[in-house]
Chain A
Amino acid sequence: MTTLTLAKALNEGLRRSMEDDSKVLVMGEDVGKLGGVFRVTDGLQKDFGEDRVIDTPLAESGIIGTAIGLALRGYRPVCEIQFDGFVFPAVNQIITQLAKMPLRSLGALKLPVVVRIPCGGGIGAVEHHSESPEAYFTHTAGLRVVACSNPADGYSMIQEAIRADDPIIFFEPKRRYWDKSEVDLTATGLPLDQARVARPGADITLLAYGPMVKTCLEAAAAAAEDGRDIEVIDLRSLNPLDMGMVAESVKRTGRCVVVHEAPVFTGYGAELAARITEQCFYHLESPVLRVGGFSTPYPPSRLEEYYLPDLDRVLDTVDRAFAY
């Protein structure tokens, strides 16, 4: 076991993938000498050369479009989008091309492109640096969408994502980049599309992914002092969704709260709530409730503590669930 930050764990995972498969490329803005603005690709260009770790021109549509071409030629590009808010110039390539080309070839083509996106808020940044755009991508058939929440998962999930033959949108919670925990560098982690019980509990299920997993664990720890036993599930994969684990948990606890940073209105939580209602209806003691961002643009940083779901808002919602 080694203690690593999430950023370093991702770096180690990328390194191992590059060692294992010479077709793996890293590409993006400032990923080379600088090692990326979050240093996730630190040292990779030095060790693997400029042909495999590519500082691209400043154009996100170009990054994804050329990654598609490289993938067509047998490479496995891992693209870094510098910040969540800057994926939008690439959205045309992602939605109209990357997501649909395999199907159009009747399965003849595989596009093993990974699009890494640092996501979410909480770092006091200026606008466009704190977005949670996952729902745009989960709404796009042909893409897998995953979000890691901790160093061990970061290490294994990035390798799994690179090995997978589908295009993958890979979210990394930027405010957790510096969080440390134990990582077993010899382990192969869970399969990419499996959720994980981050904390077992009997009274209510919290569903989260990416940055909100930690928030939910903190909320669960606080609630335990009041005698409430909260289960926290880290979804890990948003598409496909490990509905088996979700339904099993909610049927057992009878209550569920979904937590994400993205706006609640037509957010990913709406899909979860609808599915749970359908599959667990007779086990539910209360409606599925959601905690998330407001239906406003991400605010200036001096307001983000109000915007972001925190321990208090999660527990307030848990209380509401128990009030039914």
Chain B
Amino acid sequence: MTSDAPRGVDAPPELVQLLTPEGERVEHPDYDIELTDEEVRSLYRDLVLVRRIDLEAVALQRQGELGIWASLLGQEAAQIGSGRALTDADMAFPTYREHGVAWCRDVDPVRLLGLFRGVNHGGWDPAEHNFHLYTIVIGSQTLHAVGYAMGIQRDGAEAATIAYFGDGATSQGDVNESFIWASVFNAPVVFFCQNNQWAISEPLEKQSKIPLYKRASGFGFPGVRVDGNDVFACLAVTRKALQNAREGQGPTLIEAFTYRMGAHTTSDDPTRYRVADELEAWKLKDPIERLKAYLFKNQLADQEFFDKVDAEADALGKDVRRRCLELPDPEPEALFQHVYAAQHSLLDEERDQYLTYLAGFER
């Protein structure tokens, strides 16, 4: 493959797929899934709603209301499929792009915007949702997920953790160390790698000469590659991996083969490093379109249903926008809060001096 050829477009072999890009249901020997019609419709709804939240956030950034945004466009199925596989007791450790997983964990989308708007560094209580804070320093969270899993193990609890990370992240020492820990301690963790083909401008071959899921075997646990644009397959594969973990069978690496359809973040300009054809080819594998085709073909939903979901998405978009604009700017005192668990003499001194200084301007 020359470096300018569209990347990852031909479906690679060994890909677990339950729903083709055309919306045909297919069988897989190791993975299957039984879903009620209602469940299928609700998966569709989730995909559409998180895409809408994402689009709204991109628009908010363009209008100067967010400093930056990392779009999940194209990765909805990977996130909703894996996110819906989690039980309440499971714990998720996201990167900065897991807005779809956050949705599945009942984190109010506006809570996600605080970090990107610059009003806080996180903004939700991880324990309330079993959804950890976003992690920007690539790969760090994978070790946290393993440590948390070791805690679950020691508690004898019926739960697992899931660590999200990207293709680029697989090069980090922390990620490789997390694989070693998970393996040696047989920790109940699922490593969920969204291979969206790019780490900013660097294509996958700058990180790996072998398919990422194959890395797992060298560490001593199973790896599986799933069609990341197929919400059924992502749900089935993640469910099974989580169940194995909960039952004491140790970690699994899931490589969700997908595509970053947008820029890396709103600050990025992908025309500098990738060809437009690539995006066009991946649009044919769109995760939402294929589920829509499936629903239509099998008469599981009618136009009225789709219209209703679209209307709901628009209302959600508007609501997110309104509440984003209402997010209050933090007061200067906030600089000094939550740095330590208890009062801290140096911070008290600095705060008092600074507030006195600021008050001088008001006189």
A residues near B (Cβ < 8 Å) are 29-30, 32-35, 37, 55-59, 61-62, 85-86, 88-89, 124-128, 265, 294-297, 299-304, 306-307, 312-313, 316
Contact = CB atoms under 8 A, between A and B. Distances in A.
Residue with the greatest number of chain B CB neighbours at <10 A, chosen from A89, A265, A302, A313: A302
> From DSSP, what is the main secondary structure of chain A's interface residues?
loop
B346 interface: yes
Given A30-B202, A85-B136, 11 more contacts: A29-B202, A34-B200, A37-B200, A59-B173, A86-B138, A124-B67, A294-B347, A299-B335, A300-B114, A300-B330, A303-B334
A186 B330 CA distance: 49
A37 B334 CA distance: 31
B256 to A, nearest CB: 18
Interface in B312-337: 329-330, 332, 334-336
B272 A33 contact: yes
Nearest to A306: B332
A300 B121 contact: yes
A126 B116 contact: yes
Given A29-B202, A57-B171, A299-B335, A316 B68 contact: no
A300 B138 contact: no
A131 to B, nearest CB: 11
A265 B354 CA distance: 15
Contacts of A307: 335
Given A126-B68, A294-B354, A296-B347, A55 B202 contact: yes
B174 A301 contact: no
A33 B201 contact: yes
A250 B114 CA distance: 45
Contacts of B120: 300
B109 interface: no
A303 B116 contact: no
Contacts of B334: 299, 303
Contact of A58 (B199, B268, B332): B199
B334 to A, nearest CB: 6
A82 B169 CA distance: 14
B118 interface: yes
B228 interface: no
A303 B68 contact: no
A59 B171 contact: yes
A32 B346 CA distance: 45
Contact of B339 (A34, A56, A57, A297): A297
Contacts of B206: 55-57
Contacts of B202: 29-30, 55, 58
A307 B330 CA distance: 13
A285 to B, nearest CB: 22
Contacts of B267: 37
A99 B115 CA distance: 36
Nearest to B96: A126
Contacts of A126: 67-68, 96, 115-116, 118, 121, 136
A297 B174 CA distance: 23
Given A85-B137, A301-B118, A302-B330, A295 B171 contact: no
B171 A62 contact: yes
B20 interface: no
B110 interface: no
Contacts of B354: 294, 306
A88 B335 CA distance: 23
A89 B174 contact: yes
Closest 8 CB pairs of A and B: A301-B118, A34-B201, A57-B171, A58-B168, A302-B118, A33-B273, A59-B171, A58-B171
Interface string B99-132: 0000000000000001111111100000000000
Contacts of A29: 199-200, 202
Contact of B207 (A33, A58, A124): A58
B350 interface: yes
A116 to B, nearest CB: 17
7 contacts: A37-B267, A58-B171, A61-B173, A89-B173, A300-B120, A300-B121, A302-B118
Nearest to A317: B357
Contacts of A296: 335-336, 339, 347, 350
Residue with the greatest number of chain B CB neighbours at <10 A, chosen from A30, A126, A295, A301: A126
B308 to A, nearest CB: 36
A296 B347 CA distance: 8
B172 interface: yes
A301 B64 CA distance: 13
A280 B121 CA distance: 43
A303 B332 contact: yes
Contacts of B68: 125-126
A162 to B, nearest CB: 24
Contacts of A58: 138, 168-169, 171-172, 199, 202, 207
Contacts of A35: 272
A324 B53 CA distance: 57
